[in-house]
């Protein structure tokens, strides 16, 4: 009898990073078996940065920034074609434009900048004071009793170990708490290979999780319980310092503004030692449909 090998969710994510090179700087990406209604934005970010990184040939500078726009919802039954345009290559930096296509439709476009780090001015902000991840329950504990109402989250792929330092949206709503910021520890749910690009890609994937929470918790609302529609419009990341994403990082997010049916969220990834490694900004279309009297 042949033993059945059960693949971990992290292994499934790493498989998604194995893009097929078709030549002419075009790479094919696929979806996981566990899918949402449309392509998860974090998947597009991660696969896009992998595609861009696969075209770097001079000096191998690290990713230092990316700026993405989400144009259409991806069809989860179809593969994605990532077309990479080599804008510039220099000794210590490079620029790429990545466009994800399905058929004749553009799904997503992203500018990715690579640049070596050199010594210069340095300053940072303090990390928020929160309990350490070992003192916080795993994500599955927060699902208990809410499985039917937040089934989309429960049934999704979970390659990231997530530990909330505050209540997630569904628990905060039930208690009547309004949160203007959210604090979440994250890391890959297992060991990642040494390739720094895979650590960046895994952070990109995770960065699209919980970042919008502060927009709705400011109003006492919750995903899966209130009638909400959300679609990411754009997403930017700036990578300041080296990190490993198979070690705990605190994702501290807040929402400075919501207006015109759009909400803006900002986030910061701190290492466990309190070093600010990455800054994130995401804008999304947010619509709330309150219950009728």
Number of domains in the chain: 1
pLDDT of residue 293: 67
Inside any domain, residue 163: yes
Inside any domain, residue 129: no
Domain housing 195: 9-116+136-288
Q: What percent of the chain has pLDDT over 70?
A: 98
Distance CA 49, CA 17 (A): 10
Banded pLDDT at 2 (limits 50, 70, 90):
low
Inside any domain, residue 2: no
pLDDT of residue 5: 61
Inside any domain, residue 186: yes
What mean pLDDT is predicted for residues 101-107? Answer: 97
Give, as one character, the DSSP assignment of residue 235.
E
Q: What is the CATH number of the domain that holds 247?
A: 2.40.160.210
Q: How many residues does the chain have?
A: 293
pLDDT of residue 147: 87
Model pLDDT for residues 202-213, shown as the tens digit of each residue: 999 999 999 999
E strands in the chain: 20-23, 26-29, 63-70, 80-89, 93-102, 105-115, 160-164, 181-188, 228-239, 249-259, 262-271, 276-288
Inside any domain, residue 144: yes
Taking 70 as the threshold, does the pLDDT of residue 4 lie above it? no
Model pLDDT for residues 142-191, shown as the tens digit of each residue: 999 998 888 888 888 899 999 999 999 999 999 999 999 999 999 999 99
Q: Where are the alpha helices (DSSP H) in the chain?
A: 9-16, 41-53, 139-143, 151-154, 169-175, 196-207, 213-217
Inside any domain, residue 122: no
pLDDT of residue 17: 98
Model pLDDT for residues 230-252, shown as the tens digit of each residue: 999 999 999 999 999 999 999 99
Task: Evaluate whether 228 touches 217 at the Cβ level (below 8 Å).
Answer: no
Model pLDDT for residues 7-51, shown as the tens digit of each residue: 899 999 999 999 999 999 999 999 998 777 899 999 999 999 999
The CB density around residue 58, as the number of other CB atoms within 10 Å, is 12
Q: What are phi and psi of 230, to 5 degrees?
A: -135, 135
pLDDT of residue 74: 95
What mean pLDDT is predicted for residues 67-78? Answer: 96
Inside any domain, residue 126: no
Inside any domain, residue 125: no
pLDDT of residue 156: 87
């Amino acid at each position: 009898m042949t033993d059945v090998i059960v693949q971990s969710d992290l292994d499934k994510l790493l498989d998604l990073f194995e893009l097929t090179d078709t030549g002419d700087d075009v790479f094919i990406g696929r979806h996981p078996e566990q899918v949402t209604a449309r392509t998860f934005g974090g998947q597009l970010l991660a696969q896009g940065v992998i595609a861009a990184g696969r075209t770097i040939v001079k000096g191998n500078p690290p990713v230092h920034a990316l700026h993405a726009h989400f144009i259409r919802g991806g069809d989860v039954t179809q593969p994605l074609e990532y077309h990479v345009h080599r804008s510039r290559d220099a000794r210590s930096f490079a620029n790429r434009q990545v466009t994800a296509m399905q058929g004749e439709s553009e799904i997503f476009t992203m500018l990715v900048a690579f640049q070596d780090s050199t010594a210069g001015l340095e300053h940072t902000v303090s990390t928020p004071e929160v309990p350490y991840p070992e003192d916080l329950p795993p994500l599955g504990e927060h699902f208990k009793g809410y499985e039917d109402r937040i089934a989309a989250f429960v049934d999704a792929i979970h390659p990231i170990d997530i530990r909330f330092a505050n209540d997630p949206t569904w628990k905060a709503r039930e208690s009547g708490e309004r949160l203007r910021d959210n604090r979440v520890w994250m890391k890959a749910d297992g060991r990642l290979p040494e390739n720094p690009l895979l650590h960046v890609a895994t952070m990109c994937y995770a960065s699209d999780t919980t970042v919008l929470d502060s927009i709705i918790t400011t109003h006492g609302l919750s995903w899966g319980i209130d009638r909400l529609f959300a679609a990411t419009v754009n997403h930017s990341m700036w990578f300041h310092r080296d990190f490993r994403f198979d070690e705990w990082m605190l994702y501290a997010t807040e929402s400075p503004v919501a207006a015109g049916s759009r909400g803006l969220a900002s986030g910061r990834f701190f290492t466990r030692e309190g070093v600010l490694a990455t800054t994130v900004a995401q804008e999304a279309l947010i619509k709330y449909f309150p219950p009728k009297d």
